[in-house]
Amino acid sequence: MSIILGEETNNVLLDEERRQASHQEVKSSIDEDVNSRIRQESARVEPEESAEMASVAKELKRKSVDQAMETERETGRGRTAARISQVVDYIFYLVYGVIGLQFMLRLMGARSGNGFVQFVSGLSWPLLAPFERIMPTPSNGSQRVELSYLLALIVYILIHVAISGVFRLIAHRKVTV
């Protein structure tokens, strides 16, 4: 799951770079075509029409610059969203690791007096406290299967997927040609 989310973030960045490169190519081609046609038409027009043609060319140039500026803003927003998404992914991977480690320590019956076990328990307590005693805990001596920890892991995965979905919505934009 985490590999898929990381790949999606990288795919968002690659898609955004490809889209920007494609946009620049198309914009450059259109600009060249428009300027070429304006030069051709201005060579054939009467002097009275040349002022109108210059006005049209100026308006087209302004629109082209406005579109380029909007694309830059959108690209910046997409990059920011992708970077924040990567940080969020990393934080959730740490959460998964701590919960998984706590689950395994309880499953193997690790001694609660051990320093490492106490450290992991201290890290995981804020994450697992809301899920304590939701489900029964089957045990065999010191070994316990903390089903509530598995539930916590599932809930955190669902939250992670939801947050990643929001960032994908922000980073992707509809493209019309």
- Residues 37-62 as b/e (b if ≥16 CB within 10 A, e otherwise) read ebeeeeeeeeeeeeeeeeeebeeeee
Q: Which residue has the higher pLDDT, 75 or 105?
A: 105
Q: Which residue has the higher pLDDT, 97 or 81?
A: 97
50-83 pLDDT per residue, tens: 677 777 888 888 888 888 888 888 788 778 878 8
CA distances from residue 89 to 8, 138, 156, 157 in whole angstroms, order as listed: 11, 32, 11, 10
pLDDT band for position 43 (cuts 50, 70, 90) = low
Three-state SS for the chain is: CHHHHHHHHHHHHHHHHHHHHHHHHHHHHHHHHHHHHHHHHHHHCCHHHHHHHHHHHHHHHHHHHHHHHHHHHHHHHHHHHHHHHHHHHHHHHHHHHHHHHHHHHHHHCCCCCCHHHHHHHHHHHHHHHHHCCCCCCCEECCEECCHHHHHHHHHHHHHHHHHHHHHHHHHCCCCCC
User: What is the distance between the alpha carbons of residues 28 and 1, in angstroms, rounded to a whole number?
Assistant: 40
Q: Which residue has the higher pLDDT, 4 or 158?
A: 158
Q: Quick one: pLDDT at residue 177?
A: 42
- Residues across the chain: 177
From 2-6, 85-89, 106-110, the region with the lowest mean pLDDT: 2-6
Q: Quick one: pLDDT at residue 47?
A: 63
Residue 137: pLDDT above 50? yes
Arithmetic mean of pLDDT over the chain:
83
* Structure token digits, residue 118: 């106490």
